[in-house]
Amino acid sequence: MKPAPFRYADPGTLDEALAVLSAEGAGAKVLAGGQSLLPLLSMRLAAPATLVDINGVPGLDAVEVTGDGVTVGALVRHNALLHDDAAARVQPLLARATANVAHPAIRNRGTTVGSIAHADPSGEMTSVLALTDGSVTVATPSGPSTVEWRDLFVGPLETSISGPAVVTSAFFPALPPRSGTAFAEIARRKGDYAVCGAGVVVTLDEDQRVAAVRASYVSVGLTPEVHDLTDAVIGSPVEKADWTAAGELARTLVDPDGDIHASADYRRLLVGVLTGRTLAEAAAEAAAAVTRE
Partner 1 sequence: MTSVDTERTITVTVNGVPREATVPVRRLLSDALRHDLGLTGTHVGCEHGVCGACTVLVDGDPVRSCLMLAVQVAGRTVTTVEGLARDDHQGGQVLHPVQEAFRECHALQCGFCTPGFLMTIAAGLEKRDPAAELTEEEVDDMVGGNLCRCTGYANIKKAVHTAAATMKDAR
Ligand X SMILES: Cc1cc2nc3c(=O)[nH]c(=O)nc-3n(C[C@H](O)[C@H](O)[C@H](O)COP(=O)(O)OP(=O)(O)OC[C@H]3O[C@@H](n4cnc5c(N)ncnc54)[C@H](O)[C@@H]3O)c2cc1C
Cα separation, 95 vs 117, whole angstroms: 19
Of 22, 63, 108, 261, the one binding partner 1 by CB under 8 A: 108
Residue 75, classed as helix, strand or coil, is coil
Report in angstroms how near the CB of residue 193 gets to ligand X at its nearest.
Answer: 4
CB-based contacts of 263, cutoff 8 Å, min separation 6: none
Positions that interact with ligand X (CB under 6 A): 29-37, 39, 74, 101-102, 106, 110-111, 113-115, 117-118, 120, 123-125, 166-167, 193
Of the pair 166, 282, the CB lying nearest ligand X is at 166
Exposed, middle or buried by CB within 10 Å (0-12, 13-18, 19+), for 16? Answer: middle
Handedness of CA 139, 142, 148, 151 (dihedral sign): negative
Residue 65, classed as helix, strand or coil, is strand
Of the pair 113, 286, the CB lying nearest ligand X is at 113
Q: Does 35 contact partner 1 by CB under 8 A? A: yes
CA angle, 54 then 83 then 95, to 5°: 95
Of the pair 33, 247, the CB lying nearest partner 1 is at 33
Q: For the beta carbon of residue 85, count every other beta carbon within 10 angstroms.
A: 8
Contact 166, 9 (CB under 8 A): no
Region near partner 1 per CB under 8 A, out of 46-54, 86-94, 131-139, 151-159: 46-54
Q: Which does 44 bind (CB under 5 to 8 A by kind): partner 1, ligand X, none?
A: none
Of 2, 143, 240, 291, the one binding partner 1 by CB under 8 A: 2
Contact footprint for partner 1 (CB under 8 A):
1-12, 16-17, 19-20, 24, 34-35, 38-39, 41-43, 50-51, 53, 55, 102-106, 108-109, 189-191
